[in-house]
Structure 1
């Protein structure tokens, strides 16, 4: 029996990430066309995504060209169909930008960096498209984000 010393190329692990493909894919949701949205704060550390929690899922890039990355999102509302509406987090600085709400640091970022939440882009997350539940955001910071979303889109 002979063995080869040629390395085998690694597979694209991101292809298997929850939320990337199929009926459970995370997609952009037009915030003014999603119907009535009632934001709630209802975190429940049970392994399922709930409003008020930061969870990790695949998020497509805004170009919608098939690329994207696994990132944290803040769940802000539950839809009747069982899907959730969420907004993405970033550790890139967005000081004095009304499209981004500063929420500071938290356990969703192992490096302890400050984070900002984008309010100009809303995502629809399927519960099975979530990779992991990170933590509940405290009600005060959650309300900062939700108030900006309500102001921008007329949500309740």
Structure 2
């Protein structure tokens, strides 16, 4: 997980892109959504799903359900300018050819905070 975000047309860690993401409970279904690319694993991109839903209000319930979120603020990935959160304890493998479009480059300090939260979430198991 090394930051490489820039707007060069190649998908790199630190960038928010749009792609199809399977639902956790049924991988045969899903939806097109923004994700934050945090790294690579061989030919795959490793990403985290974004949401504009505010999970701060139900953080205890989300933790009990096994979902951990980190606020990343606003960005051009959301046309309505809503603040976003990224789920740090569900890694998603994405075929780079499945990326529909680039949404934005996340500021490096925000990316580093997310990666720190990902590492902490995965140490907990």
Same structural fold, with TM-score higher than 0.5 when normalized by the shorter chain: yes
CA distance in 1, matches of 2:33, 2:9: 17
Q: How far does residue 65 in structure 1 lie from its aligned partner after superposition?
A: 4.6
Gaps of 5+ in 2: none
Distance change (3 Å), C-alpha of 1:78 and 1:93: same
Query: Normalising by structure 1, what TM-score?
Result: 0.69
- Partner deviation per Cα, 1:61-97 (whole Å, 9 max, x = no partner): 1112521110000000111x22111000000011163
When Rg is computed on C-alpha atoms for both structures, the one with the higher figure is: 1
Q: How far does residue 41 in structure 1 lie from its aligned partner after superposition?
A: 0.4
CA distance in 1, matches of 2:54, 2:99: 25
Q: How far does residue 152 in structure 1 lie from its aligned partner after superposition?
A: 1.9
- Partner deviation per Cα, 1:80-132 (whole Å, 9 max, x = no partner): x2211100000001116360000111111000000000012110011101000
Counterpart of 1:43?
5
More helix by share: 2
1:135 lines up with 2:96 in the alignment: no
Preserved contact between residue 47 and residue 132 of structure 1 (Cα < 8 Å): no
Counterpart of 1:153?
122
Counterpart of 2:20?
58
CA distance in 2, matches of 1:48, 1:126: 13
User: RMSD across aligned C-alpha pairs, in angstroms?
Assistant: 1.4
Select which of 75, 83, 86 maps to 1:106: 75
- Partner deviation per Cα, 1:126-148 (whole Å, 9 max, x = no partner): 11010001110001111111000
Counterpart of 2:113?
144
Preserved contact between residue 22 and residue 28 of structure 2 (Cα < 8 Å): yes
The aligned length equals 115
More strand by share: 2
Query: Normalising by structure 2, what TM-score?
Result: 0.86
